[in-house]
């Protein structure tokens, strides 16, 4: 698409919105300006292509299509069938999966779909055979209470939140921590690395139905072949949530033991993080789980978003190109540069570095909390998010860490030198952030002051970097 046509298309779109609700047109323009002018280091965010963004804005949004390809609860779904089939085909071929389900609206929805599919496969189906019932309706008449209790009596083992796991991996306040007996594994207190022997011992003791591997804030690769061995030994189903690192799997940076797809029974992901697609999720599964995963809608999902599935198909087609593999490799290389940039300036990184797309910076040595670091960096035009570190003394709200990822700025064309510069300006801001004293004289965990001039200097340094790597070049509103 030529730049001229992109500008014309978006000007027409905004004029159309403007005529109905000008505040939304204005917010849309402002969002582009904000995204263009900030150093986006949020590890879960990215910039999708204009092809992906435009695909979401069509009349596919108007169509109901509950069910699956060829088996819809609504008439007239032939074009949605095309969209869903193409998206699933790209997902299967890109990841080498036996089966792909592209309906989940988000990563959390993909995980719920997976949990219910595993429960259906491992609890409901055996119970039907045991009770001699052909289907659940027959069981409702006879042994429903037994089955219901069995459903509620299953065990899930996932990575703990403060070691980098996700809320949906069994965190107590999340539904995953309520629907299962839950247990979580952490990292080694010394190395901060995943300890496979400890995980194996815990799995032997706990005997979970499901082991969930995958993370949101762990800066290292996982050996999924080893986790598979552990799952096999204890008879657990292995589910991998690759929401954060799907782009590195798609781009063949993670291969062999580090590629979850050949090792897991079920793999879930978002499509909008390192994979650089529309906001959404998907589930990959072995043939054994396919028909159970297919029950996602209407079991736990609302009707499919056909316009988003269309955009997933476009993004997955992009991810199958060589240019995406090059991008994924740069994401990992850039994370290394960012980490080295921090370490060479004396900063502390959880696990001492990275070999994926993110680093977790421990800000304690600057005498501030993650919350103060996050806010001070925002004042300087750097967008990050605060994050707990293992055994965080400041808890999950204030935290002691900041998580930084390279996918978004790599999409803008940042390379090793730019990421080193980013590390330099972040360290400069953190060194110049001081906690304000509370009325009791203790340091505040939220309020802070920044040495005069530091935010301004960081902003002008980042503006220079951003100007050299424009977002959606040629798109003018």
| Minimum CB distance to ligand PLP, residue 90 (Å) | 19
CA within 13 Å, CB half, 169:
27
Question: Is residue 418 among the annotated active site residues?
Answer: no
Question: Is residue 294 among the annotated active site residues?
Answer: no
The rounded distance, in Å, linking the Cα atoms of 292 and 123 is: 12
> Looking only at residues 276 through 295 of this chain, which bind ligand PLP when binding is defined by CB under 6 A?
281
Question: Is residue 172 among the annotated active site residues?
Answer: no
Considering only CA atoms, which of 432, 340, 445 is closest in space to residue 380?
432
Q: In DSSP terms, which residues pair with 252 in a beta bridge? A: none
Q: Is 14 in the site for ligand PLP (CB under 6 A)?
A: no
Catalytic residue among 162, 241, 374, 392: 241
Q: Is 179 exposed, middle or buried (0-12, 13-18, 19+ CB in 10 A)?
A: middle
Q: Is 356 in the site for ligand PLP (CB under 6 A)?
A: no
| Minimum CB distance to ligand PLP, residue 244 (Å) | 5
Angle 22-37/3-18 helices, nearest 10 degrees? 140
Q: Is 46 in the site for ligand PLP (CB under 6 A)?
A: no
| Order of strands, sheet of 281-285, starting from the edge strand that comes earlier in the sequence | 99-101, 281-285, 266-270, 237-241, 210-214, 155-159, 181-185
How big is the site for ligand PLP, counted in residues (CB under 6 A)?
14
> Looking only at residues 239 through 258 of this chain, which bind ligand PLP when binding is defined by CB under 6 A?
241, 243-244
Question: Is residue 64 among the annotated active site residues?
Answer: yes
Q: Is 216 in the site for ligand PLP (CB under 6 A)?
A: yes
> Looking only at residues 172 through 201 of this chain, which bind ligand PLP when binding is defined by CB under 6 A?
none
Question: Is residue 221 among the annotated active site residues?
Answer: no
Q: Is 107 in the site for ligand PLP (CB under 6 A)?
A: yes
The pair of structure tokens assigned to 227 is 């986790």
Helix-, strand-, coil-residue percentages of the chain, each rounded to 5: 50, 15, 35
| Minimum CB distance to ligand PLP, residue 158 (Å) | 10
Phi, psi (degrees; rounded to nearest 5) at 189:
-60, -30
Find all residues with CB under 8 Å of 138, minimum gap 6, and list them.
128
Q: Is 106 in the site for ligand PLP (CB under 6 A)?
A: yes
Which DSSP category does 252 fall into?
Answer: T
Q: Is 270 in the site for ligand PLP (CB under 6 A)?
A: yes
Write the interaction track for ligand PLP spanning residues 292-331; mark x where CB under 6 A is met and - where it is not. Answer: ----------------------------------------
Question: Is residue 125 among the annotated active site residues?
Answer: no
Give the residue numbers annotated as catalytic, written as ranges: 64, 66, 241, 270, 273, 279
Binding site for ligand PLP (CB under 6 A): 44, 106-108, 111, 166, 168, 214, 216, 241, 243-244, 270, 281
């Amino acid at each position: 698409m030529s730049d001229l046509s992109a500008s014309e298309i978006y000007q027409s779109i905004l004029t159309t919105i403007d005529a109905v609700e000008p505040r939304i047109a204005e917010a849309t323009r402002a969002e582009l300006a904000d995204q263009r002018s900030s150093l986006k280091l949020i590890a879960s965010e990215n910039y999708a292509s204009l092809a992906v963004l435009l695909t979401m804005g069509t009349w596919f949004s108007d169509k109901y299509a509950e069910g699956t390809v060829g088996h819809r609860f609504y008439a007239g779904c032939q074009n949605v069938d095309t969209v869903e089939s193409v998206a699933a085909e790209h997902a299967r071929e890109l990841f080498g999966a036996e089966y792909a389900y592209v309906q989940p609206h988000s990563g959390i929805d993909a995980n719920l779909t997976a949990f219910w599919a595993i429960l259906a496969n491992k609890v409901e189906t055996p119970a039907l055979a045991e009770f001699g019932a052909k289907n659940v309706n027959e069981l409702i008449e006879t042994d429903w209470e037994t089955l219901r209790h069995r459903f509620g009596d299953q065990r899930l083992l996932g990575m703990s939140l403060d070691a980098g796991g996700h809320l949906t991996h069994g965190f107590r306040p999340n539904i995953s921590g309520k629907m299962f007996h839950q247990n979580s594994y952490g990292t080694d207190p010394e190395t901060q690395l995943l300890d496979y022997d400890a995980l194996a011992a815990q799995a032997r003791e706990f005997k979970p139905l499901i082991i969930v591997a995958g993370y949101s804030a762990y800066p290292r690769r996982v050996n999924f072949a080893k986790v598979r061995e552990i799952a096999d030994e204890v008879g657990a189903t292995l589910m991998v949530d690759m929401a954060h690192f799907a782009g590195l799997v798609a781009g063949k940076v993670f291969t062999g033991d580090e590629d979850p797809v050949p090792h897991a029974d079920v793999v879930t992901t978002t499509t909008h993080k390192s994979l650089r697609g529309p906001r959404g999720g998907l589930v990959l599964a072995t043939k054994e789980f396919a028909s159970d995963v297919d029950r996602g809608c209407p079991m736990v999902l609302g009707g499919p978003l056909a316009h988003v599935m269309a955009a997933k198909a476009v993004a997955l087609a992009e991810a199958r190109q060589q240019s995406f593999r090059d991008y994924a490799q740069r994401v990992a290389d850039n994370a290394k540069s960012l980490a080295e940039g921090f370490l060479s300036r004396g900063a502390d990184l959880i696990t001492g570095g990275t070999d994926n797309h993110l680093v977790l910076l421990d800000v304690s040595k600057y005498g501030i909390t993650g919350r103060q670091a996050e806010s001070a960096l925002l004042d300087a035009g750097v967008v990050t998010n605060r994050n707990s570190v293992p055994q965080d003394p400041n808890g999950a709200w204030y935290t002691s860490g900041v998580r930084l990822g390279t996918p978004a700025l790599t999409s803008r064309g940042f390379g090793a030198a730019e990421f080193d510069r980013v590390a330099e300006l972040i360290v400069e801001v953190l060194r110049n952030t001081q906690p304000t004293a509370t009325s009791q004289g203790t340091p505040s965990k939220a309020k802070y002051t920044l040495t005069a001039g530091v935010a301004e200097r960081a902003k002008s340094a980042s503006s220079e970097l951003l100007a050299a790597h424009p977002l959606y070049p040629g798109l003018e509103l």
